[in-house]
Chains A and B, each alone.
Chain A
Amino acid sequence: MKTIGEFLSKRRELGATVGSILLVLLFSLGTGGVWLSVRNAQLLLQITSLLGIMAVGQTLLIISGEFDLSVGSVFGLCGVTFVTLVSQAGFGVVPAFIISILIALFAGWLNGLIALKARIPSLIATLGGLFIYRGLVYYVTGGFQRSFPREVRGHFLIKMLGGSFVYGYNNSIIWFLLITVIISIVLAYTVYGNRAVSVGGDPTSALSRGVNVIKTKWIAFITTSTLAGFAGLCSVSKLYIGATTLGEQMELESIASSVIGGCALTGGVGSIWGTAIGAFLLSTIRSGLIMMGAPPYWFVTFVGIILIIAVIFNASLSAWMKRRYYL
């Protein structure tokens, strides 16, 4: 018989969900209800979405046993390339979009090549990427902030990526939900998903069953990087500007979202929905702290604390589950 306790304990999202509810309560009370306003919810969801699109990709990669530290820089590089191609090089919006997405795709392919073919641990391979792509951001922008010329700001594609079709709610929220649904379906109900979990959980066993470990992980690398680039494009389409700091630190926030959402860094275990809630939780902390009047730099400290609490919570939850449900 399934009890509620058994059901809940098997959900990796439990910790992130409980944490989010507590924080929402805390900030609502702490700001005297202002935090609960519609305007704040719109802003919060938009920040969540950009981080979330990246984090959902990161989770797919972590589940398949690797991770990508270069996503923040890819986010930045794609964003500034999109803006610069349109504003400085006179490209149309659509070709600039395609080139920018291809850059993200290529970055993911390259990460995979270095990590999987040259067998450099993905921590090192993508740490290299973090610096390389950030350096390219400076090259592309020349160190300046670039912005979309006024006449292209109404372009349909830019509206699609960063405008609002539903009044006040940024379209990136729709993209985020769509991507979350798609990736979670892929992971749970497709052949690729089954193999992605297996190569993260136990690559030797997966290989012995005829799974192409390198190909499976490579696809995850490319997906992650492409999603990060896409999120970067959504970001600049909303703000109309691309700065050199675009996407800085987001690689760590995306990994933190995954871990808070129930991912094990050892691979094979994780939850896409948990990650989405994890991204929401981090964004909540950011906006909540600011609204409660705390200096913004406390954000990183808070993220660190929450991250450690989350890991301890998730670890003790699985230990408890093992004791209780060991067959």
Chain B
Amino acid sequence: MSLTNDYFVKMVGISKRFGAIHALRDVDFDVRPDEVVALVGDNGAGKSTLVRILSGVYAPTKGEIFFQEEKVNISSPAVAEKLGIEAVHQGFGLVDCMSISRNVFLGQEPTVRKGFFFRFLDLNKMNQESDRILQTIGARSQVNPKSEVGFLSGGEKQSIKIGRAVLFNAKLLILDEPTMALSVRERHNVLELVRDLKRQGVAVIFISHDIHVVYDICDRVVILEMGSKIGDFPKHEVSVDQIVKIVRREE
């Protein structure tokens, strides 16, 4: 566990209850700048709950969050966004019935003034910026900013969510099972995108129940089980096999 002060985000003593279910018990977790932290554990370990607290979707039952030395209250996703914490959640984050450009800017729509006091969406800017994202992620040629998200593949959806986070200058990117249900090629693209981000100095929390996916790109591995933290290692101290053993409780 890090006792130094150079953390970027630090969560201390986080507990979360959903009625009778104790999803998290007294978990400490931190991320340092430009570090990729792999958050692993079996289904129901509390990985998603932990990052949803960090991204303002859930409020913790107990515990504190420090952001660059300062105590913060991340009461909503909008607050997280302001701090530079962008989350790519599993299964949601894009509205299927809307176009790519409208999705990219949802919640932070740019506007232009037309006439005396009317403000309208800046559709030109939205389309241009979205087009840049599509080029960065290497989307197929028939996909354009006006395409409805519901018609896209799973990999394209994930890439757009990550691309959007970069557009809004994320300092900390949270990826919750971003490669689940993706084809081999799509998974490769998403991992490449994460490597790019790391090079740009973005801190990343990468959640996966499969350590093989994240081992290559991570710097540190944190293991959760049944809502408690049971391991926190710099990558060079553990091998994939050791981590698998810990997750399976074979040690």
Contacts and interface: CB of A to CB of B under 8 A. Distances in A.
Same assembly:
yes
Interface of A: 189-191, 193-195, 197-198, 201-202, 204-211, 268-269, 322, 325-327
A208 B87 contact: yes
B95 A202 contact: yes
B109 A194 contact: yes
Nearest to A188: B121
A195 B98 contact: no
Contacts of A191: 109, 111, 119, 121
Contact of A189 (B105, B120, B151): B120
A207 B56 CA distance: 10
A204 B142 CA distance: 28
B106 A209 contact: yes
B121 A210 contact: no
Contacts of B140: 327
Q: Which 4 A-B pairs have the closest CB atoms?
A: A210-B78, A209-B107, A210-B107, A268-B97
Interface string B4-17: 00000000000000
A322 B96 CA distance: 13
B225 interface: no
Interface residues of B, number: 33
A325 B146 CA distance: 13
B81 interface: yes
B109 A202 contact: no
Given A209-B107, A268-B97, A327-B140, 9 more contacts: A189-B123, A194-B98, A194-B102, A197-B95, A208-B57, A208-B87, A208-B93, A327-B143, A327-B153
A189 B121 CA distance: 5
Contacts of B97: 197, 201-202, 268-269
Contacts of A193: 121
Contact of B92 (A197, A208, A327): A208
A205 B93 contact: yes
Contacts of A204: 92
A206 B95 contact: yes
B173 to A, nearest CB: 14
Contacts of A198: 95, 98, 102, 106
Contacts of A201: 95-98
A268 B109 contact: no
B160 interface: no
Nearest to B153: A327
B107 A197 contact: no
Given A190-B119, A208-B77, A327-B140, A195 B106 contact: yes
Nearest to A189: B120
B209 interface: no
B222 to A, nearest CB: 23
B92 A210 contact: no
Nearest to A266: B97
B106 A206 contact: yes
A198 B76 CA distance: 17
Contact of B142 (A208, A268, A327): A327
Interface in B78-107: 78, 81, 87, 89, 92-98, 102, 105-107
A209 B82 CA distance: 11
A193 B102 CA distance: 11
B108 interface: yes
19 contacts: A189-B121, A190-B119, A190-B120, A191-B111, A194-B98, A195-B107, A197-B95, A205-B93, A205-B95, A207-B77, A208-B87, A208-B92, A208-B93, A209-B77, A210-B76, A210-B77, A210-B108, A211-B107, A327-B140
A193 B75 CA distance: 25
Contacts of A269: 97
A205 B87 CA distance: 11
A79 to B, nearest CB: 31
B189 interface: no
B238 interface: no
B98 A327 contact: no
B68 interface: no
Given A189-B123, A204-B92, A209-B93, A197 B77 contact: no
A189 B95 CA distance: 17
B67 to A, nearest CB: 17
B68 to A, nearest CB: 20
Contact of A205 (B92, B120, B143): B92
B152 A194 contact: no
A326 B57 CA distance: 32
